Amino acid sequence: MTEAENRCRLVLIVPDIADADEQARIVADALKGGDVASVIMPQYGLDDGAFQKHAEKLVPVIQDAGAAALIAGDSRVAGRAKADGLHITSSAQALSEAIDKHAPKLIVGGGNASDRHNALEIGEVRPDYIFFGKLDGDIKPEAHPKNLALGEWWASMIEIPCIVMGGTDPASALAVAETGAEFVALRLAVFGEPGRAPSIVAEINALLDEKAPRFED
């Protein structure tokens, strides 16, 4: 596992599955495939009560695998489910308020950085990480070129780590790694065929081990 610490690491975005038990099982299987830094749980269309039920099943599964469990948006659900952190997608101000309230007890990161100006505004509030892309933005095989460009620019200048959303092709993880980004987020690339999720996580880690650039100590 320590091998992965000095190169781009994988962040998983939980797939949209209505059945909480099935969702937890699929995520647990994927995490058996190898190194995953963190797992982000979007609310999708669930009401708050159902989202909390999903989170309470998912958080221990993620933490038992050694990854950080991040809840998208809802700090109350994050607290009740004993998650490791919060992923905020609205604005720099919302992120700033979440940091003031919950850091350093919780990891707080995210952003909705559509351009460099937005990204720098987010950077000023000192989140634990910045996210380029949308949690459900994997609509093409490759990562969005704008997100790759933003990730490359950010990673070359700013110390705050960045996560760049990949595409539906697992190989898109390497294009993200080549920007210098610390993390690549994948959703459908891993969970599009749930039965293959563990082997895809293993393949992505092998690809990154072999070809991803190494960070300086």
Give the helix/strand (H/E) hosting 62. Answer: helix 48-64
Rounded to whole angstroms, how far apart are CA atoms 148 and 178? 9
Rounded to whole angstroms, how far apart are CA atoms 6 and 183? 11
Q: What is the pLDDT of residue 116?
A: 97
Between strands 183-186 and 130-132, the pairing is unpaired
**Residue ranges of the domains in the chain?**
11-210
Helix/strand/coil for 154: helix
Quick count: other Cβ atoms within 10 Å of Cβ 32?
13
Which CATH superfamily does the domain covering 11-210 fall into?
Aldolase class I (3.20.20.70)
Rounded to whole angstroms, how far apart are CA atoms 81 and 88? 17
Stretches where the chain sits below pLDDT 50 are 1
Q: What is the pLDDT of residue 217?
A: 62
- Note whether 10 and 37 are within 8 A (CB): yes
